[in-house]
Amino acid sequence: MMIVDGRGQTETALLAGEILCPDCSSPLRPHGQARTRTVRGPGDTRLTMRPRRARCTGCRRTQILLPAALSVRRADTVEVIGTALAAKAAGSGYRTIAAHMGRPLSTVRRWLRRVPETHAHWLYEQAVQHAFRLNPDTLARPKPWPSLLGWSLNILAGAALAYRHRVDVDLPPWTLIGLFTQGNLLSPPLRT
């Protein structure tokens, strides 16, 4: 699985052999489509996508090119999960967040449990890496944040805005955050 930004350029780059295998760095080639996924967006919206499948010309492994608006193994978009995490970082509990977002208590509770301090730290590292590359000024804000999660999301948002400015691309900030965090805004099940 690889996270891509989901624009038409991805297909062009794939056809041109410019997307490289994460395992052996050989060019990937188109290899059909993965199964169709329908995930929940904000409120009652639904997003249906059929990710591209690609195969490595070197090691022959296949990869699914997952658009960055989707989270790895989650039924909700990065925007939805990210909004819940931002509310948690701002001090809301899971009951309030679930009621506000129209999601089951158990779902929201599961999301919030997937950002233990170790994962907040990982998010912070990704945030700093991207912000430093795109616009180091994003890191210089002196405002103190009560939690590492809140601070990390804030830097990620700053990096997303810097990316939009620099690359002149109209991707939604949460999609870019999905790209920066490689679809792992929540920690993968095997890591904790």
CB of 14 closer than 8 Å to CB of 63: no
Residues paired with residue 2 on neighbouring β-strands, in sequence order: 65
Cβ pair 28, 54 in contact under 8 A: yes
CB 89 within 8 A of CB 157: no
How many binding residues for Zn ion (CB under 5 A)? Answer: 7
To the nearest whole angstrom, how small is the minimum distance from the Cβ of residue 58 to Zn ion? 4
Is-contact 27 55, C-beta < 8 A?
no
Binding residue for Zn ion (CB under 5 A) from 15, 16, 59, 139?
Answer: 59
Residue with tokens 């679809």: 183
Stretch that binds Zn ion, among 2-10, 54-62, 78-86, 138-146 (CB under 5 A): 54-62
CA separation for the pair 176, 180 (Å, rounded): 6
| Cα end-to-end distance, the chain, whole Å | 20
> Does residue 58 bind Zn ion (CB under 5 A)?
yes
Q: Minimal distance in Å, beta carbon 25 to Zn ion?
A: 7
Q: At what angle do helices 78-89 and 173-180 cross, to 10 degrees?
A: 90
- For Zn ion, the binding residues in 19-48 under the rule CB under 5 A are 21, 23-24, 26
Among residues 25 and 45, whose Cβ is nearest to Zn ion? 25
Shortest distance, position 17 Cβ to Zn ion, whole Å: 13
Q: Is the Cβ of residue 23 or residue 137 nearer to Zn ion in the bound state?
A: 23
38: its two tokens: 């329908």
Contact region for Zn ion (CB under 5 A) — 13-21, 81-89, 170-178, 181-189?
Answer: 13-21
Least Å from the CB of residue 182 to Zn ion: 17
Closest approach, Cβ 2 to Zn ion, in A, equals 11
Contact between 56 and Zn ion by CB under 5 A: the answer reads yes
Nearer to Zn ion, 34 or 186 (CB): 34
Q: Are 62 and 54 in contact (CB under 8 A)?
A: yes
Residues that bind Zn ion (CB under 5 A): 21, 23-24, 26, 56, 58-59
